[in-house]
Structure 1
């Protein structure tokens, strides 16, 4: 009879284990379809591969900027935090993966007890190995939690890539800000020198009685305005350097800072956006939103599995004896195997409420995913809209600079010849100075736009163009691939 129970018990255990390994199946529902109204083309159509396919070392032209970017990728604290978040998510995924395997532990003990049927206390010894509450995942709850952890890990890794793209763009634009703040300072210094010359000339004319004091005071107003601009641009230079140091995570060496106005930021003669469909692959923030949507689907599967009974298996095998010297002798071997069953009968709707919460979380994730797609296309189209007209604006501004400079020279000559008043010279000088400032701002906007377009298209994940980026499928995609293969 004992042998019969032993054989049947082992058969039940083996059957249960086999059923647990083969019958576990996810209960997540159908995956939602995003309705983001993806455009079929960009505002500016240009044939060619997207510049996002280029590594940042091939896209940016200045070797000093590349060194600054490499320093930032090494020392930036936000990027370091994003990398640590990846490590945390990876360990969390490892934990959920381990939950699919039984936990085996060693045990040993000594028990001394006094009972009514014995005249003296008895001592028993035991040692063995045991499986503690191993859940037989019939309904796929543990597997769904594993899928959720995997998608969360992939989303965290994509978020880190998005942080890197943003950091590279911010560093490049801060580097440009430093360059053009210096250019504006040089222009202000030149203007201040010219204003001082005008002031000194008018003061001499006033001292000898040629003109009244009005031109002197007008010239003084221009001098003080130029001095204010000089101080303002010195402040901007310091602030640009402070921002650059923050982004890099350390003091940027002086030899890596641009001493002259930057006229070229990239080696590309044409900035192509590629196909709109490429954006969904190249933008890691969009991929992160997609992974989060998949993770919410896995949560639904785990919540639905809680509606069904939970079956756990506990077992042990080892040796037990009342005499320590007989502990490992023949006949001291003992084993036990016992399943436990948790059947949800009445929980006041808690499990069903958890399903509703999971489904709502999925709808929120779907909305966030659709918005991330729409935001990505809006950012690209904004950059392309600026790109469409920036060339014409710069050309017009350069012609304006030439016209105002010529006007200033003619007005100054007529004033010195006594034909016009100093007010005409003052107006021409202000117009020329403002036109020069506007040209610098447009040239900076042009370079910033090139960086912005590269960033919004998803460029900056790769260091070199030849590097290969492998996009891991989400668990929702794996599920669809599995269903299509059947």
Structure 2
């Protein structure tokens, strides 16, 4: 035991020395955005008791059970989400590999040597003669540190910290992918509902224009209507026929897009028939939230972890300028018999500290340090821009949320008025009071107003989803 004391002393000293850290002290950059989310003007006023919708679970936010099932289908099968999960596993494995460099590598080895030696003896006349053969056996076992860099200046610890932060960043990237996927699936589902309703409108309008075309053609044949009226009716009919075909194409593409997002076929029973006046989400506004709420968004947290990783890389690059100390140490036993190795044997130990430093590296270390600093500055800019982008996304969603209800009221009134005008104009035309051109123009206006109303409903429904997503909702 006494002979192993230098080895233990060396280990204790190396552990005590490994305490210096050359990385800059990290402080979170101040967000370059206003302290509060926009208010007043076009922005809606938030009630003081309004819930924080970013903390509402997606199963509670989306109230249509069919949509909830489609979202769950996507969370279970989407390939991008699986890729993000694989990236997390890769980053965790890289962190474990890098972290292992901090600790010494321990090993055990055993050897056995067998030597056959001829023995010679001198005869009476002085000549040498073969006196026999002697077998020499030697056994040894040793264990200890096979490789250990004494991290005096924090190089290994900073590399480990950088790998750890990249691991955390990959986790936030996975969370961000989840939030984005939920929003994309909801948007695709609502778009499909809107296009199916647009198809129904186009088919009703096509039927009405077909009746008008047949009427004007009959009137033209008997001379009570001009060819101009017949051609105008034909133009409207063909336009509506084109709209029907286009809507069918969009619906097929919507289903394809939804199946790509979900990563699996979506049963027809889970697809919406039309948008209608039904609500797919709760009608919630965010409370009076400060802009710091954006710091909880996964993409912002991802950018911050990457910034911390670059900060640690500066420390590792600085440490490269200083000497690098390594240690190899073993302790063991030597005996002429295997059975005596752990009993009556001779104890041995070796301690081999090594120090190395580059005298001339032709600017390699300086270049690495400058690169680490530039990467850190780029990470700061990325972090700030991520926050600014988040602020802009939420502000845009709030601006639309503040006026969309007024748009809905206006479009509803317009569609209702256009429908009444179309029916009155048709009655007047059939009574011979108005021309066919007036009636046809009223039909076109009613058709356009109904289409625009559906588009506005889609905008309102999508805006609620966007507001929920941009505030970081969907993690629970």
TM-score after normalising by structure 2: 0.90
Whose radius of gyration is greater, 1 or 2? 2
**C-alpha distance in 2 between matches for 1:142 and 1:135:** 8
> 1:440/1:154 Cα in 2 relative to 1: closer, same or farther (>3 Å)?
same
Which of 464, 467, 470 lines up with 1:450 in the alignment? 464
Q: Which one of the candidate residues 291, 309, 318 is aligned to 2:305?
A: 291
| CA 290–262 in structure 1, closer or farther in 2 if over 3 Å, else same | farther
Distance 1:408 1:183, change over 3 A: same
Q: Deviations over 1:21-74 (max 9, x none)?
A: xx4232111335524322122223413332111000111110111111111001
Q: What secondary structure sits across from 2:402 in the alignment?
A: helix
- Whether 1:241 aligns to 2:238 is no
> Aligned-pair distance for 1:162?
0.4
CA distance in 2, matches of 1:123, 1:437: 98
CA distance in 1, matches of 2:426, 2:278: 35
1:305 counterpart (313, 319, 328): 319
- Give the aligned partner of residue 33 of structure 2: 38
- Aligned residue number for residue 390 of structure 1: 404
Q: In the TM superposition, what is the alpha-carbon distance from 1:130 to its structure 2 partner?
A: 2.9
Superposed, 1:47-446 pairs within 5 Å as: 47=48, 48-110=50-112, 124-266=138-280, 268-321=282-335, 327=341, 330-446=344-460
**Structure 1 CA distance, aligned partners of 2:400 and 2:189?**
21
Q: Are residues 336 and 265 of structure 1, via their aligned partners in 2, closer, same or farther at CA, if it must alter by over 3 Å?
A: farther
1:12 deviates by 4.1
C-alpha separation in 2, matches of 1:32 and 1:52: 26
Deviation at 1:324, TM superposition (A): 5.6
- Kindly indicate whether the alpha-carbon contact (under 8 Å) linking 1:36 and 1:371 is maintained by their aligned counterparts in 2: no
Q: Is the CA contact (8 Å cut-off) linking 1:65 and 1:172 kept in structure 2?
A: yes
Deviation at 1:167, TM superposition (A): 0.2
CA change 1:400–1:18 in 2 (3 A) is closer
Instruction: Kindly indicate whether the alpha-carbon contact (under 8 Å) linking 1:326 and 1:332 is maintained by their aligned counterparts in 2.
Output: no
> Could you tell me whether the CA contact under 8 Å between 2:112 and 2:139 is conserved in 1?
yes
Give the Å deviation of 1:207.
2.2
**Count of matched residue positions in the alignment of Structure 1 and Structure 2:** 457
427-436 vs 207-216, greater mean Cα deviation: 207-216
List runs of 5+ in structure 1 lacking aligned partners.
Answer: 463-486
Deviations 1:313-344 (CA, angstroms, capped at 9, x unpaired): 11122333566676555234322121111123
Residue range with higher mean Cα deviation, 42-51 or 324-333: 324-333
CA distance in 1, matches of 2:35, 2:12: 55
Deviation of 1:114 after TM superposition, in Å, equals 10
The equivalent of 2:123 in structure 1 is none
Residue number in structure 1 paired with 2:23: 28
The answer to whether the 8 Å contact 1:51/1:274 transfers is no
CA shift in 2, pair 1:263/1:108, >3 Å: farther
Q: Could you list the per-position Cα deviations for residues 240-260 of structure 1 after superposition, in whole angstroms to 9, with x for gaps in the alignment?
A: 100000000000011111123
**CA 1:32–1:362 in 2, change beyond 3 Å: closer, same or farther?**
farther
Q: CA separation in 1, counterparts of 2:252 and 2:5?
A: 82
1:459 equivalent in alignment to 2:473: yes
Give the C-alpha shift of residue 293 in structure 1. Answer: 0.5
Task: List gaps (5 residues or longer) in structure 2.
Answer: 121-132
The DSSP-based 3-state class of the residue aligned with 1:31 is coil
Q: Conserved in 1, the CA contact under 8 Å of 2:183 and 2:465?
A: yes
Correspondence for 1:13: 10
Structure 1 stretch displaced more, 179-188 or 350-359:
350-359
For residues 246 and 5 of structure 2, the distance between their equivalents in structure 1, rounded to whole angstroms, comes to 89
Aligned-CA RMSD value: 2.5
Residues 291 and 259 of structure 1: is their aligned pair in 2 closer, same or farther, counting only changes over 3 Å? same
TM-aligned CA distance change 1:398 to 1:64, over 3 Å: same
Q: Cα deviations across residues 361-385 of structure 1 (Å, max 9, x unaligned)?
A: 1000000000000000000000011
Q: Structure 1 residues 284-293 or 331-340, which shifts more?
A: 331-340
